[in-house]
Amino acid sequence: MVIEATGLRKVFGEAVAVDDVSFALEEGESLAIVGESGSGKTTVARMLVGLETPSGGTITVCGRERTARKPSGAERRRRAREIQIVFQDPYSSLDKRQRVGDVVETSLALHFDRTPAERHRRMLDLLDSVGLAERHAAMLPRQLSGGQRQRVAIARALAVEPRVLVLDEAVAALDVSIQAQILNLLADIRERGGSSYVFISHDLAVVHQISDRAVVMRNGRVVEQGPTPALLAAPQQEYTRQLRAAVPRPGWKPTRRPA
C-alpha cells in the first residue's frame, strides 16, 4: 500500500469535519473520494498531503506514518517526493509573476541536484508530457487558458516524481471537452509511470472514468466504498443512489467495466 488511512478524524472548533474515515491506496491505483460540498473529502485530501493535521487516526504514506510533529526541511522535501496535490483553481496556485518554465524548474531545483541545462531539458520534457509546447515555457499564467494552466500545475507536481498525486476537484472548473483532455492525460501518465492517484470529486461521471475504487463520503463519514464500476452500477446506499441520479450529463449511465 502507498497510503493507509485509519480512523481519520478532524475537528475545527466544535465542528467535526471528518469522523472515523479509513481507506487504502495500492501502488498504481486510482482512488476517488466522492461527496457533495461539505462532505469532508477536501479535508481528507489536505490531511493526506500535510496541509491539515488530523485530530485523530493515522496516515501512513509509503510505509511511513505521518506524525503531528513539525517536520524538518529535509523531511518536508522527502514527503513532497512521496505525495503532491493539484488544486481545483490552477491560477491561484501558480505564481502570476513566474513564467511557466520557471514554475516547473523551481520544483526541479528544490528536489534534484541537476545542472541548469539538465533542469531546462527536464522542464521541456515535463511540458511535453502534459501536452504543452516549448513556446509555453516563456508564458505567464494569465496568457494561458484554464486547461493549459491545469496542465502546468500537473507538470509542476510531476516534476517532483511523487509516488501519489492527489487531485482536488482538478477538472471541476473546466468545460466538458477540456475535462476529457485532462482526464485522458492523467490516464496516460498513470499508464506510463505507474503513479497512484487520489481523485477528489463530486462528479460521478468523472469518477467513473478515472478511478478503480471509490469512497463515498457524507457529513464527514464514509457511506460506502468499493470498486468504482460495481459501486456506481449498483450502489448499496440511498445517498450514493442520489449522487448518481444527480449527474447532469444527458445519456450518462454507469456500467460495469470489463476486468
pLDDT recorded at residue 258? 43
The CATH architecture one would assign to domain 3-87+164-245 is 3-Layer(aba) Sandwich (3.40)
8 A C-beta contact, residue 202 and residue 187: no
Select from 101, 114, 172, 106 the least CA-distant residue to 143.
Answer: 101
- Those residues with Cβ within 8 angstroms of residue 63's Cβ, 6 or more apart along the chain or in another chain: none
- Show me where the domains of the chain are located: 3-87+164-245
Burial grade of 132 (CB within 10 A; 0-12, 13-18, 19 or more): buried
What's the pTM?
A: 0.87
Q: What does the mean pLDDT of the chain come to? A: 88
pLDDT in tens, 37-53: 999 999 999 999 999 99
Measured CA to CA, the distance from residue 196 to residue 21 in angstroms comes to 20
Select from 248, 241, 225 the least CA-distant residue to 31.
Answer: 225
Confidence of residue 255 (pLDDT cuts 50, 70, 90): low
Q: Is the pLDDT of residue 196 over 80?
A: yes
Measured CA to CA, the distance from residue 185 to residue 187 in angstroms comes to 5
Measured CA to CA, the distance from residue 224 to residue 234 in angstroms comes to 12
Instruction: Give the other-Cβ count within 10 Å of 55's Cβ.
Output: 16
pLDDT in tens, 152-179: 999 999 898 899 999 998 888 777 887 8
